[in-house]
Chain A
Amino acid sequence: MARGRARELLIEAGRWVVLVSFSVALAFPFYWMLITTFKQDGDLYNTANNPFIFNLKPTLVHLQVLFRDTMYLRWAGNTALVGALVVLITLLLSLPAAYALARLTGKWGERMGIAMFLTYLVPPTLLFIPLSRVVALLGLQDTIWSLVFVYPSFTIPFSTWLLMGFFKSIPRELEDAAMVDGLTRFGAFVRLVVPISLSGILTVVIFTFTLVTQEFVYALTFIAPERNQMVGVGVPTFLIRGDVYFWGELMAACLITSLPIALLYNLFLDRFIAGFTVGAIK
């Protein structure tokens, strides 16, 4: 009996060792951004100082420089604008498509759904060279419109897939009843199905937005001018002058960009997982 108890304790201890060491390793860079943001340069760039504590008084100077003397706010604004427009395009196209796949197209639709999902596997690094040409031809080079045009190519497949699962969970009888009451099928979709799918739509909004902020390769390829950049490229490219990294400002920018996205994402995590694992778990 005593041996069994000892074993149990050992397993429990092992569990905590794993949990604590992984959480620390995964979250450490963010802690490091936080402490770097508030340190004076004299403290940051002195190898004799213990880097884990404040050897000089904390300072807000990096944040001030970031907001006043760099284009950070401009990049954040660009990102928000591109995000909003891409969300709009994504919803307009993927809501009807997902409904069609869930209700109207049967077995063939199921296959098209899988085909659509597989396009999610085609990476930007395969397409950026010809797309840079297409973008230039359309006259969108160096503007955020190039991204508004290209980003839906990866947000639509994922959103359609998520929404399809969502629509399938709505009981068919609801629409049947509405159609008996005189609504057309499309009318039932617009007036009934879309309003009751608000939480699914919200999930798509959040994920489309995070996908837009996370994208790097297309923004780096299509846009050169500093003022038209997105946050994800502007921060690691333009907060560096030649070989000089402004670490205080850089880490401040990293921190303020990551935290809001992380908080939002965490709220909708479970739906997101469901999107990736449909088919594998049943």
Chain B
Amino acid sequence: MAIAPGSRSTPESRAWWLGQGMFYPAMIYVLAVIGLPFALAVVYAFSDIKVGSVGYHFVGLQNFKSILHSATFLRALYDSFIFTVGSQILVLVGSTLLALALEKKFRGRGLVRFLMLLPWVAPVSIGAIGWKWILDSLYSVINWVLIRIPILHLDKFNPPQWLGEPALAMASVIVVHTWRLLPFSTVILLAGLSAIPKDIPEAAEIDGAGFWRKMFQINIPMLLPILNVALLFGIVFTFTDMTVVYILTRGGPYDSTQVVPSLAFFTGVLGGDLSEGAAISLFMVPILVIVAYLMLRAANRSEIT
């Protein structure tokens, strides 16, 4: 914290006090609604509190122990990593391709941008329920098309159950989440692309660099810092998301798409086991801390250059 200048009458010190007064109401509100519950989550995780229970019993690491021995939790942790890594790879590759294709101005660019933004702008739960209809067990339009492609030899009466078989369900959840995050990542990369000085690729072209060389030795390396930002946001938005899973599969079939946040919801909110739910959700904290640290580092670096 900065030290307030000694005398209160100088214009600088008046500005400083005014600044405090204008800033703190917002900060206190945010701390009260984020910091306080976070502290409570930690307190809960070391207790045996349930919905409707009275009093507080400290139980130490009991909840964490029982969670780490639970096959369901370990499965959820594993699924969370698959879900996050899988969708982030798809998002990075897809959004880089799309951003490079969208960079140059052309007729209809505004329309393409509007269409591609829809998944990000529409409420997640609404987009996900749209996919639930597309992946329906009986009336899936995807299956309708696939069955009519002769070389696939699909059984007309037993088409793929996109949300009913473990591997397919995980793939579906990953694809739907990628669909949702791709626009966000693309617009961030577009902003990064527009900040690359145009004379560098041009100079390289004059020196005889071809399309691929320009791409891999100039455009993509210069995009890396912003790609980094998009990835960090993407990791947080994916690892902590339960909406897509909740709407599409409720974690099923057989917990094959259960992720850490959805398990915390089912345990702590629907199951009423507040202490275990809180302990489960705390397992997201290490990831958040790492991401926050990397973001700060990125911010500091850009300040120096």
Contact = CB atoms under 8 A, between A and B. Distances in A.
Contacts of A198: none
B138 interface: yes
Interface residues of A, number: 99
Contacts of A29: 119, 127, 130-131, 134, 179
Interface in B84-112: 94, 97-98, 100-102, 104, 112
| A contact patch SS | helix
Contacts of B125: 216, 232-233, 235-236
B123 A232 contact: yes
Contacts of A25: 179
Interface in B108-153: 112-119, 121-134, 136, 138-139, 141, 144
A18 B19 contact: no
Given A121-B291, A245-B133, A280 B302 contact: yes
A209 to B, nearest CB: 12
Contacts of B21: 100
Interface residues of B, number: 103
A143 to B, nearest CB: 17
A232 B129 CA distance: 10
Given A107-B2, A277-B192, A258 B122 contact: yes
A281 B195 contact: yes
A38 interface: no
Interface string A23-65: 1011111101100100000001101001110000000000000
B284 interface: yes
B174 interface: no
Contacts of A258: 118, 121-123, 126-127
B249 interface: no
B101 A18 contact: yes
B23 A109 contact: yes
Nearest to A273: B191
B110 to A, nearest CB: 8
Nearest to B39: A130
Given A27-B118, A213-B123, A128 B40 contact: no
Contacts of A47: 138-139, 144
B115 A26 contact: yes
A121 B115 contact: no
B54 interface: no
Contact of A133 (B228, B240, B274, B281): B274
Nearest to B276: A129
For B121, B138, B225, B305, which residue has the most chain A Cβ atoms within 10 angstroms?
Answer: B121
For A29, A33, A45, A250, which residue has the most chain B Cβ atoms within 10 angstroms?
Answer: A29
Contact of B179 (A26, A134, A185): A26
A134 B36 contact: yes
B209 interface: no
B21 to A, nearest CB: 8
Given A106-B2, A129-B274, A185-B18, A119 B30 contact: yes
Interface string A185-203: 1100100000000000000
B123 A132 contact: no
Interface stretch (B55-63, B64-72, B161-169, B260-268): B260-268
A50 B148 CA distance: 11
B34 A185 contact: no
A265 B121 CA distance: 7
A114 interface: yes
Contacts of A277: 188, 191-192, 226, 229
Contacts of A131: 33, 37
A3 B126 CA distance: 49
Given A7-B211, A47-B139, A128-B269, A156 B26 contact: yes
B296 interface: yes
Nearest to B44: A130
Given A104-B16, A236-B247, A214 B33 contact: no
Contacts of B206: none
Contacts of A149: 33
Interface of A: 7, 11, 15-16, 18-19, 22-23, 25-30, 32-33, 36, 44-45, 47, 50-52, 93-94, 96-97, 99-101, 103-109, 112, 114, 116, 118-119, 121-134, 149-150, 152-153, 156-157, 160, 185-186, 189, 210, 213-214, 216-217, 220-221, 231-233, 235-236, 245, 247, 250-251, 253-254, 257-258, 261-262, 265-266, 269, 273-274, 276-277, 279-282
Which 9 A-B pairs have CB atoms at the shortest separation, nearest pair first? A104-B19, A123-B240, A130-B40, A97-B26, A125-B261, A153-B33, A96-B22, A258-B122, A100-B23
21 contacts: A15-B104, A16-B101, A22-B101, A26-B116, A93-B25, A93-B29, A99-B22, A100-B20, A108-B1, A123-B241, A128-B265, A129-B277, A129-B278, A131-B37, A134-B40, A157-B30, A189-B22, A236-B129, A254-B126, A273-B188, A274-B191
